[in-house]
């Protein structure tokens, strides 16, 4: 299927793995394992469509509060996924990036992540951003610390700090802001996800639990995105849908 309008950057809050497993009277980790299959199909389709960036909210900074056995199982799943999928991601010209803090992640996960990032560093296709140990508030705190350090060292004047300066200090520096945010499992919350970057994103809530989310559901979200009038704070142009941020937008997408 082809689309007249594609988002440059799709961000997905993958929700419902636990409920999917519970419906089948299986442990929660079983749902997470099945959710990895949905990741594979969505990554492949985004690459095929020519979408520039795909960000997956894989593990939030608050998810450490979950039961220890579930967290341990998730960490094992991440390192396994990165090892098993690394060659295929590279073959598909996907570049893997990490959004989040490294502190707290097990050594096995960091090793698998670093090897995958290094192998795919020069790839020019889909940018797959894994939000792992990620929290938007943590990201903003880290950005503030970075900017404060630059000011303290005399590299940056306080009066020169603007929206673009902040954007360039975030984990997503150099990436376009998300155009489309998808959340599965009927949830309507943002859950501390890319709070700065999604200021003008379109939101699509799917009733489908993440392990059942497939290409057809992704297409539905993209069709809905393409049908919406995006004004970025401006009035609608006489010719139809707005194609980008208005000139008054304080933070156009970063190229």
- Of residues 140, 151, 224, 145, the one with CA closest to residue 181: 224
Q: Token pair of 228, please?
A: 């919406």
Residue 98: strand, helix, or coil: strand
Q: Token pair of 26, please?
A: 């299986």
Report d(CA 170, CA 38) in Å as an integer: 28
Q: Is 4 a catalytic residue?
A: no
- Which of 17, 63, 103, 177 is the catalytic position? 63
- Which of 15, 17, 177, 179 is the catalytic position? 15
Cβ pair 170, 139 in contact under 8 A: yes
Q: Token pair of 22, please?
A: 């519970």
Q: Is 123 a catalytic residue?
A: no
**Cα dist from 253 to 124, 132, 180, whole Å:** 19, 23, 13
Q: Token pair of 225, please?
A: 């995105």
Secondary structure of 146-159 in HEC code, one letter for each residue: HHHHHHHCCCCCHH
Q: Which residues are catalytic?
A: 15, 63
């Amino acid at each position: 299927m082809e689309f007249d309008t594609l988002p440059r950057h799709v961000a997905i809050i993958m929700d419902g793995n636990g409920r999917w497993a519970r419906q089948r009277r299986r442990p929660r980790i079983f749902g997470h394992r099945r959710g990895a299959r949905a990741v594979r199909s969505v990554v492949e389709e985004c690459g095929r469509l020519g979408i520039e960036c795909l960000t997956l909210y894989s593990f939030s900074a608050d998810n450490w509060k979950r039961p220890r056995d579930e967290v341990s199982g998730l960490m094992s799943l991440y390192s396994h996924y990165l090892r098993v999928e690394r060659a295929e991601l590279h073959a598909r010209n996907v570049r893997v990036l990490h959004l989040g803090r490294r502190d707290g992640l097990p050594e096995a996960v960091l090793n698998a992540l670093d090897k995958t990032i290094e192998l795919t560093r020069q790839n020019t296709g889909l940018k797959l951003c894994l939000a792992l140990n990620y929290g938007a508030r943590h990201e903003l705190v880290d950005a503030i610390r970075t900017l404060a350090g630059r000011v303290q060292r005399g590299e940056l004047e306080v009066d020169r700090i603007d929206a673009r300066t902040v954007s360039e200090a975030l984990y997503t520096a150099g990436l376009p802001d998300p155009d489309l945010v998808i959340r599965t499992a009927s949830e309507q919350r943002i859950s501390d996800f890319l709070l700065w970057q999604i200021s003008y994103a379109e939101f699509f809530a799917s009733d489908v639990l993440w392990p059942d989310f497939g290409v057809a559901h992704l297409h539905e979200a993209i069709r809905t995105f393409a049908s919406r009038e995006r004004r970025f704070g401006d009035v609608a142009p006489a010719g139809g849908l707005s194609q980008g941020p208005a000139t008054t937008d304080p933070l156009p997408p970063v190229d």
